[in-house]
Structure 1
Amino acid sequence: MVFATGTPVSNSMVELYTMMRYLQYSMLEEGYRDSTGKVRSLKHFDNWAATFGEQVTAVELKPEGTGFRLKTRFARFYNLPELINRWKEAADIQTADMLKLPVPEAEYITIQTEPSQAQKAMVQSLAERAEKIRKEKIDPRIDNMLKITSDGRKLALDQRIMNPLLPDDPGSKVNACVDNVFRIWQESTETKGTQLIFSDLSTPKGRAEPKKEEAKEGAEGAEAEGEAAATEEETIMEASVYEDIRKKLIAKGIPPQEIAFIHDANTEAQKAELFAKVRNGQVRVLLGSTQKMGAGTNVQTKLVASHDLDCPWRPADLEQRAGRIVRRGNENKKVRIFRYVTKGTFDAYTWGLVESKQKFIGQIMTSKSPARSIEDVDATALSYAEVKMLATGDTRIKEKMDLDIQVTKLKMLKSNHQAQQYEMQDKVRGYYPNKIKETQLYIDCLNADLPVLEAHPAKEDAFSMTVMGTAYTERKEAGKAIVAACRLMDDPGKEIELGEYRGFPMKLCFDGAKFKVTMKQHLTHTAELSDDVVGNITRINNALEKIPQSLERHKENMVRLHKELESAKEEAERPFAQEAELLEKSARLAELNTVLDNEEKGRGGEPEREPEEDEGRGNEKPSILKSLKEYERPAPVPYGAERGQEREAI
């Protein structure tokens, strides 16, 4: 059985654990042997994460937008070579640079469009919404950062999605895409070149359906028709940007039958028919989302261009988009992939985030040796600082938020460093001197016991042991005598003199659970007894035979303790390695706080003058921002009420 996927890690490093658990469960169970010789299993995520990941705590907005919180998540991964080597036991990673497949050469073209005045104003309004959330003035059920992020992405695509009363901006990226599609359609007419347009937002769903009440009496019908005509553009934009693109392409001269939506193919048979039409050039412009037109869409035969109108959250989605055109079977040697970005909007954030994620994934899914450590990226909502930065263009706000987190982390690291220093100082003064003295005492006693043991070697043919005053030359008889002595003990709580073996006096005692024989010259050596008469003799002999090994072990411990003592002295005197970085960033943070606070205070006194300025403006055009804030849908006539309610539901 073969498992095949083009995106084993589509968004976050943690997905690799799921793949390994599915394909390499036995390997995870076996785990690995650490430096102490202990076997550590990796089958539980906590163990896997502790081995390969690091938890990083950062300050971020709560999902509901009601303030900040400290959030701990996996943001850095270590031991990547070992992790990837284990992964490659089950995975045969084949990248494009290894396969060298005969695919067309792709030219990536970024089209940047300027935002309209309305878009600038609406981005500013998003920043004000974020400000209210930050100050906990908004019920999270009404507004939160996820909603703001979603609105920001829609606004970057087309301003009419957010407010259908706004005009169609000629410089929008939707219009730029329409111009490029039409130009390439003309250029590739001879070869019947085809194109794909991707947009995950404003897909053709929920479009307003014609009302059956149109057959009602004349007056109401006329009013309804007027209502429909007045809101035609609004209905189209609420339905989908797709419809707007198709309408404009048809107006430029592309036949309607050459434009199709992937959403119109609802069954596998319909998809197969549609894909065949695209492959033979009957349909030359196909629009769809990544979900519907990504994996499994084989229409590459005549594709000359692909257009990314928006940016998905996952790098895997971008790979799937590009994989539709950069694919074996494409007749064209060179293709173009257009990516559209509206400046000063959330486009900058989403493209930057996906780029960071892709760089991260690219570090592990590569034919080259991975780095020792990498940083993970996983986020789907903008922070307050990012929204404010996009709205104002002031990168200092984001810098301040980042510095807040970095300085807090550095202070925690310094606090931990100082705690470790205090611990090392205590060990230098007390723990290590005491352990060295104790170990030296063991060594001295064992050195004194060893000659006694060597002077009385154990011989198979010359056994000798004295038990309760009687000398025995047979192991079995001596064992019986020891068992008998155990049974004759009047007071098990008191030691009794048992006899002598190999130059060591023996005593018999009972610890409340088991009988034991102790042998001592300078150090006590203990053997536990059982009802096995011969086995007891072996245990007693083994307790003495361990003296040489015990002596060597204590000598090794002595060397280790001295090394650790020297290391502890160095650690106790070692300064905080990131002290200079902490001082530098703390100074920069204080500087930013002072500047931004002064600017905020300066803005705080301006509103009092605004009424006078507004009165003197007379009949000047009102601000777009104010109009957008005060925008309300017009009150519909009775027949149109249903349509208005439906649009509100959409």
Structure 2
Amino acid sequence: TFELSPEGTGYRQKTRFSKFYNLPELMSMFKEVADIKTSDMLNLPVPEANFEVIKTKPTEEQKEILEAISERADAVRNNQVEPTEDNMLKITNDGKKLALDQRLINPLLPDDPNSKVNVCVKNIFSIWDKTKEKSSTQLVFSDMSTPKGDGEFNIYDDIRNKLVNMGIPKDEIAFIHEADTDKQKDELFSKVRRGEVRVLLGSTQKMGAGTNVQNKLIALHDLDVPWRPSDLEQRSGRIVRQGNENDKVNIFRYVTENTFDAYLWQTIENKQKFISQIMTSKTPVRVAEDVDEASLSYSEIKALATGNPLIKEKMDLDNEVTKLKMLEANYKSNKYKLEDKVNKIYPQSILKTEMEIQAVKEDIANVEKLGEGDSKFTSISLGTNKILDKKEAGEKLLEEIKKVKINDSKVIGKYRNLDLQVSYNFMTNTHTFKLLGKAEYFGEFSNSTDGNITRLDNAIEKMPSKLERLNQNLENYKESLENAKVELTKPFEKANELRDKTLRLAEINKLLDMGEVEELENESPLLEDLKRAIVDYSNYEFSESNSYEDFDKLYPDLSHIGLAYTETPDEKHSIQYEVNLEEKTWTQYVDNVAIRTESFVEDGIFNSQAIKDMTEAIKMSSFDDLVSVDEEDLKQALGLEIDDDGNFYDPLAKDLDNDGIPDRYDNDFKDSDYFESTYDVEDNLHARKEKPSILGQISKFKSEEEKDKNQEKNEKGQER
């Protein structure tokens, strides 16, 4: 990665983690032992925070000291000094002091009236003066130069003395360090909550978690930046908190340009990136690049501190491209899901609902009407007995119901031309029923002899409302199908903006290149053709308009180039397809498990030929080809099979011998003849349709190419 050097005077290449894979699985494992609640999930009534970065210019003294610090860093890197004499930790600490105030390096240096400490003092006084009527309060954070009581210069005393000279009563300004005991802290916090102490200064450690003084807080000032993102969140959490009487608050962050401030904000940004991507309440992306929304404000601060307009533009573009890529990824994800819905889910739902509607219509026509008289009861058949008296029917029905035990489900009779099936739910200790016609109608029995007949009638009387509900569902499915078709025709609306900004970012990166990175060797023409084929495939399948020059941005990792992703119709299993340009292989995954990997490199075939074969294979491929799963591959890798709807299922998940052990793990049952005859272990349970596969297309291409070569040889031989 390209980053500012710690001394803040140049730039360097630094090897860092660039991506983290399989984040959903990682978070699933973590959530087995933890519940995550983030602020975006809670939606608490907290004040709206306005973050403002206030930047100041370095003095000539600061520039000279920074140059000396840079020379010290060079000496450390070149092993010209002993670690005990000087090291990067000391340099970083001095750099932090210099960025805060030059007098922390040498108290004899002049007090710059435009330093960030003095700008902060003026800002504190201005807010104090404007909010006198409400007695609003302010917090000032600085982890460095805390008061020690030893007579040495420190920022805390400097700020208080200046505020007192400007007119703020001394008893309205306090240091958290002056409260040594819990009782003293409680008294101090109480004064801040009442507005008696209106300016409180402290460090993150002493004034972070547990500091509940939000009642009248109107502003927070960050004079320096801590090392941990959580510390920065703890700071802002003191003011952006429930119980604050102010609807809007301000958080000021002070930065000295061209000093260590830039590096310090960059460091906390890098730490925040990974944390935010993992702890997000949204579903994590599968592959997380080293960037995220929560850290963009940190990037901006870092850019402001550099003072280099080109770097500022680079940082702005980094943030904008990041946001656009997040939008593009979301667009593609939604598009894949819409394609599944248009091609499979909605048509299947429509067909299923139409069949259910027809079934309910037939049941309404065939069901026996209620009789005349008060009871309206006609008869019920239980076993071989037909009972005409309602009271007797209720008693006999209850007797039959009680005969149905745990894990039992059986048809006990017939009521109004519908079969009556009873089941027992041991979890709720209740008996349930199904009235079976062309469709099914559900209900729950009670222990009442009179009420059970009524419950059966109620289930039947709900047939018209069920029909109405199904008709409404059918309309909704059809409308959703048409809407999905329209959405699929829409391109990514910010595609041109993303392309233009990506190209500009690449141009700036070249201009900022410090010459420390070797030039890449020119790609071979064959590899260029392969990359163009991949870009063309992506443009065609996903209605994009990327150019070949975008390839490195689209696919930075040549060993993992994803070409297709989808889910089974029931959305229970994922299917992925990727190619590896370094190894010249392709791999198909189901639920992140590789079920098939093939190499284009074979014995006797040169690497150039493998690239040619790979290029032709991608040119011949479609999205459907790449996500078409071979059932034998699925069986071998995961033990799953494919049903007629294209869903994956475990054929051995049943418990045919009812012993409570799934058949896959029931060794006794596996040894039985019944197991072999039932599951037909030698053959597939379901005859699968022949599906075109990419491997088949490759083989066909190679075969035809070989055939053409042989024919060409024969023709030349005949000419001779």
TM superposition score category, shorter chain reference: 0.3 to 0.5
From the CA coordinates, give the structure whose radius of gyration is larger.
1
Which of the two has greater helix per residue?
A: 1
| Higher RCO (CA 8 Å, separation ≥ 6 residues) | 1
Q: TM-score, normalised by structure 2?
A: 0.43
- TM-score, normalisation: structure 1: 0.47
